[in-house]
Amino acid sequence: IIKADYSMIKNHIIYNDYSDWTYDVAKAEGAYIWTKDGKKLIDFTSGWNVTNLGWNNPEIAEAIVAQVNKNTYAPMWTADPIQNDFANLLTDSLPKELDAVARATGGTEANEEAMKTARAFTGRKKILGFKNTYHGQSFGTMAIGYLPEYVETISPLVGEFIQMDFPKTFGSNESDAKLLTDFEKQLDELLSGEDVAAIVTEVGIITGWGSTYIAPKGFLTIVRKLTKKYGTLLILDEVGTGFSRCGKLFGMELEGVTPDIATFAKGLSNGAAAIGAMVTTSNIAEKSFKNSHLTSTFGWTPLACAAALKALQIHIRDKIWEKAEKDGEYLLNSLQKEFKGNSKVADVRGIGMEIGLTFGQPNLMEKAVDVARDKGLHLTRCGDN
């Protein structure tokens, strides 16, 4: 093992500091992971919102095997029947306005496609995002939410990006109404120049950065109202909030908001294959595709589409979001009750089965995660969250 300040190299693989290598996975099934030394863990991470239907779902595996015997690749100027089937089901599951799909290999690429589309369609350059959010690991997507001090050594990133504070409820002494009023005023000022191509956001909860910070209900409604007012596109990153995670099939259903562009990955194929999607309107797609350069060599391989099609069919057939809503409410209430009055826990919050907490003492989270794993519970962390 060679360990540096911000990485670990194990068996020639570089790991990030927030997910340092802790064990090799021997096997995984349903809600369980077994380590190489035989320890069985109850998994509460879903691979960070990936295996929403359980690890190695057998129905998805069968769908991939069946596709292997048909075809495994389709170049960009063609379409495999399984791609068409998945595109139809995905768009049928979304608001009717979202009827055009761009193929991608994951969330980073899908968000890059979304921002390129927004600039090509609007003719504007500026992109607005929120501080301390994660939308990918490219120069463009990192510019959305990474603070300058985090990326100083690899800067400059892409220009014309604006960052604003996320109106989180945790740590605020203001009422939800005041938070929303202040946020609306700030956003109105930023968009009033009518020079912002798009705002990139999740549905009111931060999943990618790991903080699970939540905005007051009504956040997304305000964003949608002001983006329409000033001709700014709303890009909704559903990579972490989609596929039943937040108690709805897609997070946009929480406030009944239809974005101009939505992006998907992670739970899209339940972790069985690399795949992402950018979905927008036919009007936006037709007016931007010549200049947005939506090319992806491995976007939507037939194997990935077979996995994604089956995964979405299962979500719809079994109404997985209903279980996520019910179980999430139980878990959130139980944790809040358990930790009430505990000085070591500053906050417990969540939406559906996207739940997190903040410890009130520094460096305690890492120890808690390690102790939990020793006791057979697999959790993940980001700083003190």
For 30-39, write each residue's pLDDT tens digit. 999 999 999 9
Dmax (CA) of the chain: 60
Q: Read off the pLDDT of each residue in 34-48 and give the average, rounded to a whole number.
A: 95
Q: Is the pLDDT of residue 75 over 80?
A: yes
Q: Read off the pLDDT of each residue in 309-334 and give the average, rounded to a whole number.
A: 98
Q: What angle do CA 6, 9, 11 make, to 5 degrees?
A: 165
Q: What angle do CA 45, 50, 56 make, to 5 degrees?
A: 95
Q: Read off the pLDDT of each residue in 285-311 and give the average, rounded to a whole number.
A: 97
For 206-244, write each residue's pLDDT tens digit. 998 889 999 999 999 999 999 999 999 999 999 999 999
Q: How far apart are CA 278 and CA 268, in angstroms?
A: 12
For strands 100-104 and 276-280, give the pairing: antiparallel
Q: What is the pLDDT of residue 4?
A: 44
- What confidence tier does 19 reach under pLDDT thresholds 50, 70, 90? low
Q: Is the pLDDT of residue 190 over 80?
A: yes
Q: How far apart are CA 122 and CA 333, in angstroms?
A: 44
Token pair listed for 283: 């009007």
Q: How far apart are CA 352 and CA 354, in angstroms?
A: 6
Percent over 70 (pLDDT), the chain: 97
Q: Is the pLDDT of residue 258 over 90?
A: yes
For strands 126-130 and 196-201, give the pairing: parallel
Q: What is the pLDDT of residue 3?
A: 43
Q: What is the pLDDT of residue 168?
A: 97
For strands 40-43 and 161-164, give the pairing: unpaired
Q: What is the pLDDT of residue 1?
A: 38
Token pair listed for 311: 């995964």
In sequence order, what DSSP letters do the residues of 351-366 get, joined into one string? ETTEEEEEESSTTHHH
Q: What is the pLDDT of residue 2?
A: 40
Token pair listed for 192: 């009033």
Q: What angle do CA 346, 133, 294 make, to 5 degrees?
A: 155
User: Torsion over CA of 186, 214, 137 and 190, rounded to 10 degrees?
Assistant: -10
Q: Kindly report which listed range (44-48, 179-183, 318-322) carries the lowest average pLDDT score.
A: 44-48
Q: How far apart are CA 233 and CA 45, in angstroms?
A: 32
Q: Is 348 helix (H, G, I), strand (E, B) or coil?
A: strand
Q: What is the pLDDT of residue 17?
A: 63
Q: Read off the pLDDT of each residue in 64-93 and give the average, rounded to a whole number.
A: 97
Q: How far apart are CA 347 and CA 156, in angstroms?
A: 35
Q: What is the pLDDT of residue 11?
A: 80
Q: What is the pLDDT of residue 210?
A: 82
Token pair listed for 127: 């992109």
Strand spans (E) along the chain: 2-3, 7-10, 13-16, 25-29, 32-35, 40-43, 100-104, 126-130, 161-164, 196-201, 233-237, 261-264, 276-280, 345-351, 354-359, 377-378
Has this prediction a pTM greater than 0.85? yes
Percent over 90 (pLDDT), the chain: 90
- What confidence tier does 192 reach under pLDDT thresholds 50, 70, 90? very high
Residues whose CB is less than 8 angstroms from the CB of residue 116 and which lie 6 or more positions away in sequence, other chains included: 292, 293, 294
Q: What is the pLDDT of residue 7?
A: 59
- What confidence tier does 363 reach under pLDDT thresholds 50, 70, 90? confident
Phi-psi region of 46 (alpha: psi -120 to 50; beta: other; left: phi over 0): left
- As a whole number, the mean pLDDT across the chain is 95
